[in-house]
Amino acid sequence: MGRWIGVGRALGSVQPVPAGRGPADCRGPDRPAHRAEGMMTGLVSRAALLAVSIAVGIGAAKADPWTPAWLASPQAVWSADFPLPTGLPPTIAGQVIRQPLTLAWSGDRLRLVLSNIHGSQPLAITAAAVAPADDGARTSGPARVVTFGGRPEAQIAPGASLVSDAVDLPVTAGQRIAATLRFGPDAQAQDFHWDARETSFVLKGGDPTATDPQVAQEIATRIALAGVLVDHPADQVVVAMGDSITDGNGAPMDGQARWPDHLARRLAPQGVAVVNAGISGGRLLTDGMGQSVLARLDRDLLSLPDADALILLIGTNDIAWPGSPFAPDEPPMVLERLQAGYLQLAERLHAQGIRLIVGTLPPFQGALPGTPMEDSYWSADKDDLRNRFNDWLRGADFHDGLVDFDQILRDPSAPAQLLEAYDSGDRLHPGAAGNKAMAEGVDIGLLK
């Protein structure tokens, strides 16, 4: 998908990493001071044709000041023989599904971004609405009908995304809204986001604008909803990308307690929007429970309007999956492959003037006890590779800063393990306190 919206703008200065967190590459002024903006393709409505094909220098004004305020990176629905269930409802055909979410930025108008990028057939939306969210499936205040090219229905082509018309709904950073979609009678779920960390609702009845609907089923996945844009520009847009640790596995459901959520609340008062492009089961080099970071970089970062920096925490599953039930026939990962992947990613970001902040990989000895993965997900050899990779990140100069998540989360007396106070209970994913500590460990000087 091309850029959703907008043109480039000036980058903020790059700040050095504090002592003890590794070096920063402060080459910002020497990097390209512009980014080529691609024309958005595949949208039918004139209102949705928002991008321009132009290279813009530092200091240029924004033609369309749309800012990403929320993301849910699309994943392809996997087959029934995968070790984890999808959590999808039995069908979405004719269903009305309400999806509450929490915004990271403010605006007077918003647009919904819908996805069918993994679909093999058109996806019909027969009605859509958005409203401030209340408890559960309830909404507060009158719902706004969402249109597409002035029409209340739309069909999303296979492999495509769709941006709605602008909706007049003033919102603030940290506010919860509910987007409600009614799917066509032949709709199939082929595109979803597995771990929403927020409960969505299959509603009884066919009215997406209902304020106090009856609920047929609760689900913990996102379906077709991939993003929200708002019309107020941010000083900086920061994207957090990674695996289940970034996606929030281990954080409390409905608590807005993933580490990027905490970071968004820290930075919003300072003019910085933080959005989450994590995918549970994500990997750097190879597809997992979604496309690899290298494969989805264009879609989930470079296509965003005015992304300024990426915080990247990825590699645990590249190391841990080989030889486990997730990837039983894969050969062990080697350091050189991880290094090459990170260097390639850095080149692609820097060519677009986007800063790269890397995170060290947290420890995971004893991960996933009581599951089929407990004997193969972690090993001493895998932990040795993790440590060597972290040491390389700490001493490297290809990035613009480092957050030492390993040091933040590990048990000082047993550094191959998560500190118990930060563990969600599965010895792999941080819990509520761990996610908060991760966000507090980010030097916000790197992101302003």
- Spell out the per-residue pLDDT of the chain, length 448, in tens: 344 433 222 222 233 333 333 333 333 333 333 333 332 333 333 333 333 222 222 233 344 579 999 999 999 999 988 999 999 999 999 999 999 999 999 999 999 999 999 999 999 999 999 999 999 999 998 999 999 999 999 999 999 999 999 999 999 999 999 999 999 999 999 999 999 999 999 999 999 999 999 999 999 999 999 999 999 999 999 999 999 999 999 999 999 999 999 999 999 999 999 999 999 999 999 999 999 999 999 999 999 988 999 999 999 999 999 999 999 999 999 999 999 999 999 999 999 999 999 999 999 999 999 999 999 999 999 999 999 999 999 999 999 999 999 999 999 999 999 999 999 999 999 999 999 999 999 999 998 7
Q: What's 384's DSSP letter?
A: H
Torsion of the alpha carbons at 248, 253, 259 and 261, rounded to the nearest 10? 120
Sorted by sequence, the CB contacts under 8 Å of residue 218 that are 6+ apart come out as 199, 200, 201, 202
Residue that has been written with the tokens 């792999």 in this structure: 428
Angle CA 434–435–436, to nearest 5: 90
Res 64: pLDDT: 55
Res 448: pLDDT: 75
pLDDT digits (tens, 9 = 90+) for 41-80: 333 333 333 332 222 222 333 445 799 999 999 999 999 8
Q: What is the pTM of this model?
A: 0.86
Res 10: pLDDT: 27
Sorted by sequence, the CB contacts under 8 Å of residue 30 that are 6+ apart come out as none
Res 174: pLDDT: 97
pLDDT digits (tens, 9 = 90+) for 171-197: 999 999 999 999 999 999 999 999 999
User: How far is the C-alpha of 144 from the C-alpha of 130, rounded, in Å?
Assistant: 5
User: How far is the C-alpha of 444 from the C-alpha of 448, rounded, in Å?
Assistant: 7
Res 63: pLDDT: 46
Domain ranges in the chain are: 69-226, 233-446
Neighbours of 358 (CB within 10 A): 27
Q: Which two tokens stand for residue 48?
A: 């949705």
Instruction: Assign domain 233-446 to its CATH superfamily.
Output: SGNH hydrolase (3.40.50.1110)
